[in-house]
Structure 1
């Protein structure tokens, strides 16, 4: 699952990419016009135009650049600190993979190993091109304060959890919590998702419905905040509500809004989703957590033991705090308060 060259920026200075969007907004259209406005040759003008295109701020047709709707929105505040810029950078697949790669190396990674990683996950390229790509990727993330360089090693900053509420992994067939940078892992997940085409289409539609529900949105945002509070990165994709590597353990979370009429059906649905997501993502050791918006009714309280019997951790909201059965209180103490289980 190599990433195509055209989807990787080769424009080192993010502030100049911002200037490119401004330049197009001011009427520049061709590579030469963009390059002139930036004080660069037309080849570099093309690189910066391509970078602005990757970010979704401009469209280009036959060397004629125009702003997109989101590009016009960005021009209301064309700065490095505009949250929209960070959002668009992190929508690009190579940046999502790079952050996951750095998560696997909290001690930091040197330039040679970054080059090896990039060579593994992207189309074949010369050493000079690989160096330029690494320069662009690392420079952009440094400008956004997502990474830092210490003693010639690059690592994630503590600010990442302040700046990223949830890292959205764009493609559902991309490993959401990769265990390695080996492409075989990516191939396995891709193959499993491809084989499950029909159920994936169903789950995507189901997820869209769930995510339009205010109670569901509130659960996702609240759990994501609790994950960020312990300096871990909450992730999501088109299927999975939340996933995160917490204290070096993989977790998958499914949120369910419930009422008296649908408690059992919603929890059953959540069970099947969690097991299937764990299989599809090739995360056999992942801890599964089913979060629902309120305590279960008396008639369905037995389902807490049922969930525990199949190794799914039940978590429920009790007026702003979370609870679980005693068995799991220590395992997910980052989510709950020390309260007596009901």
Structure 2
């Protein structure tokens, strides 16, 4: 169970960040914080301080003396993209707010505000209906601000999730890759009805019953690890360019700027399987752009483990010129290369 202290009262999330910046610059009292966030009264300054405290960024050393926490000190040193990433990660795991996100994950069709009010009422017993409505409105405004939910025709739906930190951590500007295949794969997150649209294929059958496929475990492990290296390398590059990388159980990476958005599909490949891998990536890019209701102008990016061999030049030309899909491949220096013909699609990524 939770208490009302777990229900934020700060409606304007950017002002929560202003509190953190003000404390980093020397503000210590609630009056100083209230002045920093726009001349609010001391009580309202306390609302925004409590919100920053809920996120673990500030704390009270005494009734009217506010300081940065160790996490807060690391936070103020982050780039804007890293800050955005850190906060979205906090929100989806933050106690009561995380419970709401979990419920939205489980209900791809969405929830009404009344259903969310009911959920909060069960989690915070003894709270008045009016307080639940006000505080829930604040929580939803935070989730909307970070693009995690949308609200249409009375239904609140989960629209995206932050980068999957089961793969790596971003702490104090240091990124550490994790490629551990002994861990179980994460369960698919339910986004915009994807679960309903992705039915498992029936097991193939032969004369003597179900067919059995023998998979080379070493090849699977190599492919999966190569895939995660591609995802990680691109995500770290995006962070270095102040672009926020996002990921869910279906989409390898997604990012956007003020003017453009990009959807990435990573493919490990060898000269022997490049054609099949490209065909698979082509279908996935189209499917995911449609199912996630992205704009038709979103750039589709296929990222390959190695440069396509010369006899596959026609395949690259087909993807770029006919399908308008950018083809990128990893280089030995941990960078990325691409043909000049798709430069216009990836210019904003500054590869």
TM-score, normalising length: structure 1: 0.50
2:109/2:192 contact within 8 Å kept: no
Aligned to 2:260: none
**1:142 aligns with one of 141, 144, 152:** 144
The alpha carbon displacement at 1:152 in A equals 2.5
CA-atom RMSD, angstroms? 4.0
The alpha carbon displacement at 1:227 in A equals 4.2
The alpha carbon displacement at 1:49 in A equals 0.4
Separation in 2 of the partners of 1:213 and 1:78?
A: 19
Aligned to 1:117: 119
1:29/1:64 contact within 8 Å kept: yes
3-state SS in 2 of match to 1:11: coil
Aligned to 1:35: 34
Aligned to 1:257: none
Aligned to 1:18: 17
Separation in 2 of the partners of 1:10 and 1:4?
A: 13
1:9/1:47 contact within 8 Å kept: yes
The alpha carbon displacement at 1:248 in A equals 10
Separation in 1 of the partners of 2:191 and 2:105?
A: 11
Structure 1's unaligned 5+ residue stretches are 169-211, 234-244, 250-293, 297-315, 323-333
The alpha carbon displacement at 1:124 in A equals 1.5
> Does the alignment pair 1:295 with 2:295?
no
Q: 1:23 to 1:78 in 2, by over 3 A?
A: farther
Q: 1:100 to 1:128 in 2, by over 3 A?
A: same
1:11/1:17 contact within 8 Å kept: yes
Aligned to 1:48: 48
1:22/1:78 contact within 8 Å kept: no
Separation in 2 of the partners of 1:220 and 1:99?
A: 24
Q: 1:48 to 1:232 in 2, by over 3 A?
A: same
Aligned to 1:175: none
2:104/2:157 contact within 8 Å kept: yes
The alpha carbon displacement at 1:153 in A equals 1.9
Post-superposition CA distance 1:27-69 (Å, at most 9, x none): 1112222112212111111111011011111111222110112
Q: 1:152 to 1:227 in 2, by over 3 A?
A: closer
2:92/2:101 contact within 8 Å kept: no
1:58/1:66 contact within 8 Å kept: yes
Alignment of 1:1-342 (within 5 A): 2-38=1-37, 39-62=39-62, 63-77=64-78, 79=80, 82-157=84-159, 160-161=160-161, 163-166=162-165, 215-216=179-180, 223-224=185-186, 227=188, 231=191, 295=217, 317-320=220-223
Structure 2's unaligned 5+ residue stretches are 168-175, 199-215, 226-250, 252-272, 277-351
3-state SS in 2 of match to 1:60: strand
The alpha carbon displacement at 1:317 in A equals 3.4
Separation in 2 of the partners of 1:318 and 1:95?
A: 36
Q: How many pairs does the alignment contain? A: 203
Aligned to 1:285: none
2:10/2:138 contact within 8 Å kept: yes
1:74/1:85 contact within 8 Å kept: no
TM-score, normalising length: structure 2: 0.49
